[in-house]
Amino acid sequence: MNGAEDQRSALLPPITAARAALSRRATSSRELVSTALARARDPAGEGARVFIRRYDAAALGEAEVWDARHAAGAPATALGGLPVSIKDLFDIAGEVTTAGSRVLADAPPATVDAEVVGLLRGAGAILVGKTNMTEFAYSGVGLNPHFGTPRNPFDRPRARIPGGSSSGAAVSVADGMCVAGIGSDTGGSVRVPAALCGLVGFKPTAERISRRGVYPLSRTLDSIGPIARTVECCAVLDAVMAGLSGDLPVPVPAAGLSLLVARTLVWDDADRHVASSIEAALSRLSRAGVQIHDVALAELSDIPQVNARGGIAAAEAFAWHRTLLDSAKSAYDPRVAIRIEQGRAMSAADYLDLLDARARIGRSVLDSIGEDAIWVMPTVPHIAPEIAALEKDEPYFATNRLMLRNAALVNFLDGCAITLPCHAAGSAPVGMSLVAANNQDRRLLAIARTVAPLIAAS
């Protein structure tokens, strides 16, 4: 597959369209699941690198059950009979949760499903498999030396990175192996791969969705979110995982909507294609009546300085990994181990200073723009580079910092954000992020429903 046109042709219907097709018997759950699994099994495709574990037989069996329920006129559910993938850090009862690593292969199996998995199953999702990821979710690039790296669906012959850490989740959606993938986002791990693969990715307020039964990277920064084709798909999945009603947030009128364009830090080193794609999207919004205002947001420049020694994620990751690192460091991806080891040099006082800085900067941002502000930035300042260009440590770490820089600001500020594709058809994928303060998730999704079709380039 090569280019955006081929990418779109491989996608399954979005959730709302798939539900409508199921309700009028234009398709069946078995047909959707069979199509997804066929793409996952295709030896010419990315399935072997996308999935660490697949559930072919179980998924087809569940599809038969859902088709029987539909035929009997059972009440519809949010995800009834739809194939969904889940990142390899969610517990599934009876399985070892390996988090994209070989280090945990001999760990005890989970005794119960992660709470999010239970909610997805309860809403009718059929899990087709656990998706590949950066080891222990600690990179925005998406490379995995243990299970391979799935190639970005754009310009696949040149083997570009998928973005991480939810690499397999994004490619599973982009290649039509599911209607949506569930990932985690500690510093951009949902939004970065979504943006680089031309998809929608939603990072909710961290506290809204349970992380019980989810392998941790940072207890402070981790959040759980979906990658899918549309804002509506993400809104449905967010409601399911947050335990809310399934109603979609109502789009807001474009006229009178006000968006702030952050101009500090987030445009630095942006490549020409990213910058021009987003500026063109902003022009389309302005022509539709959306008010666009530039804002400095000087506080954003303070965040990388605060995190220069690894930040909250390194401190909290090291606390969890220190025993494993002492006994099995050689089994880690060395690039992941280096990042975790940054936490070894941090004292308790250093960690508390980080938490204090987070609270102070977060208050300053809200004082500057107000709690109701929605601000805009490039999700990632560069298009996806080639995997081969990152084989040495120096370009790898520099690229990783750049891939995560913008998105990680939102986790540090404890906000919510969504990335929307805004690139021209056939060109390299570019994501534009809308960002809101914490617990404004459903309002942000409502605004995103308005913005997404306006910025979609032809």
Show which residues are catalytic: 87, 165, 189
Nearest alpha carbon to residue 411 among 225, 186, 184: 186
Q: Which residues pair with 85 in a beta bridge?
A: 129, 181
* Backbone φ, ψ for residue 324 (5° rounding): -65, -40
Q: Quote the crossing angle between the two packed helices 441-455 and 231-242, to the nearest 10°.
A: 170
Q: Which helix (H) or strand (E) holds 175?
A: none
Nearest alpha carbon to residue 163 among 441, 438, 388, 399: 399
Give the strands of the sheet with 51-54, arranged side by side: 51-54, 125-131, 82-87, 180-184, 224-228, 200-203, 416-421, 431-436, 375-378, 258-262, 291-295
* Backbone φ, ψ for residue 224 (5° rounding): -115, 125
**Residue 130 and residue 90: Cα distance in Å, rounded?**
8
Which residues touch 172 (CB under 8 Å, ≥6 apart)?
A: 40, 50, 51, 85, 128, 129, 131, 178, 181
Distance of CA 214 to the CA centre of its chain: 15
Q: What is the DSSP letter of 350?
A: H
Residue 216: both structure tokens together: 């941790």
**Residue 210 and residue 244: Cα distance in Å, rounded?**
13
**Residue 95 and residue 166: Cα distance in Å, rounded?**
20
b/e for 347-377, b at 16 or more Cβ within 10 A? Answer: eeeebeebeebbeebbeebbeebeeebbbbb
